[in-house]
Amino acid sequence: MIPSSYPSPEEIARLSARMLLEIGAVNFNTDEPYTLASGLPSPSYIDCRKLISFPRIRSTLMDFMAVTVMRDAGFEAFDNIAGGETAGIPFAALVAERLALPMTYVRKKPKGYGRNARIEGAMSEGERVLLVEDLTTDGGSKLSFVDAIRDTGATCGHTAVIFYYDIFPETTKTLGDHGVALHYLCTWWDVLKEARAQGAFSTETLDEVEKFLRDPRAWQEANKTG
C-alpha cells in the first residue's frame, strides 16, 4: 500500500533514530572500540539488519523510505526497485511493495555459473531503477551495484538507505560524480541527539562518540592498536 502520510524530514529522522536505539541496533563502546571492515577502530557501530525482525518498526521505516523517495525524487520517478546483496534485499522488497513496482536484486559479483548474472529478476533497458540499501558510509560500495544496473541498459540515478553516516565529507561527491543522488532517513547526528535526549548512554560515552563523529580520521589514528 502506497503511504499517504508525510511527516517532515526532521520528524522522520528523529523517529528513525529512536527506533534504531529502541531495538539495540546502535552500539557505542569507547573503552573497547569496534573494528570496521577497513580494519580501523570506531566507538560506534550500527546494525540495520536487525530491523527485519521487528515488524512494527520495519513497516514504519519502509513507509518513511517510500515517502522520502517520492518527495525527493518524484512520485513517478522509478520503474524498478533493486536491492544490493545482501542487506538491501529485504528492504528493496518492502519498498517495491509499497510503491507497487517490480523488485530485483544485484549480486556483489557474478554467481559463476548459469547466466553468470549479477542482476536477479527482470530488469529491462531504459528502466529507471532505485537502488535500496540498509546504510552507506562513504558511498563507495554503492558504485559497483549502480554500474551493474547500468550494464543492463537501465538507468540508476538514485540510491535510498535507512542510515547514512554523514561524517565523511567525500560521500556525496563520490556518489554525485557517479551521477547518483542519495536519500536517507537518519544519520549519526540524529542518533546522537536522540541518545542524549533519552539518556541512553553515559554522557562520557556520548561525548567521546561525538569527538569521533566530528573528526573520524583523527580519532581512528589516535586509537589504532598494534
Residue 101 domain flag:
yes
**Region of poorest pLDDT, from 32-36, 152-156, 208-212:** 32-36
Give residue 139's pLDDT band: very low, low, confident or very high (50, 70, 90): confident
CATH code of the domain containing 142: 3.40.50.2020
pLDDT at 112 over 60: yes
pLDDT at 163 over 90: yes
Residue 30 domain flag:
no
Q: Is 131 exposed, middle or buried (0-12, 13-18, 19+ CB in 10 A)?
A: buried
Residue 63 domain flag:
yes
Q: What is the pLDDT of residues 2-20, one digit of tens each?
A: 777 789 999 999 999 999 9
Residue 41 domain flag:
no
Task: Give Cα 61 distance to the centre of its chain.
Answer: 12
Residue range of the domain that includes 84: 9-22+51-186
- pLDDT given at position 7: 92
Give residue 113's pLDDT band: very low, low, confident or very high (50, 70, 90): low
Average pLDDT over residues 168-187: 94
Residue 126 domain flag:
yes
Q: What is the pLDDT of residues 56-109, one digit of tens each?
A: 999 999 999 999 999 999 999 999 999 999 999 999 999 999 999 999 999 998
pLDDT at 47 over 60: yes
The pTM (predicted TM-score) of the whole model is 0.93
Residue 154 domain flag:
yes
Burial pattern 61-85, b for ≥16 Cβ within 10 A else e, equals bbbbbbbbbbeebeeeebbbbbbbe
Residue 218 domain flag:
no
Quote the number of domains for the chain: 1
Q: How many CA atoms lie within 13 A of 210 on its CB side?
A: 14
- pLDDT given at position 9: 96
Residue 119 domain flag:
yes
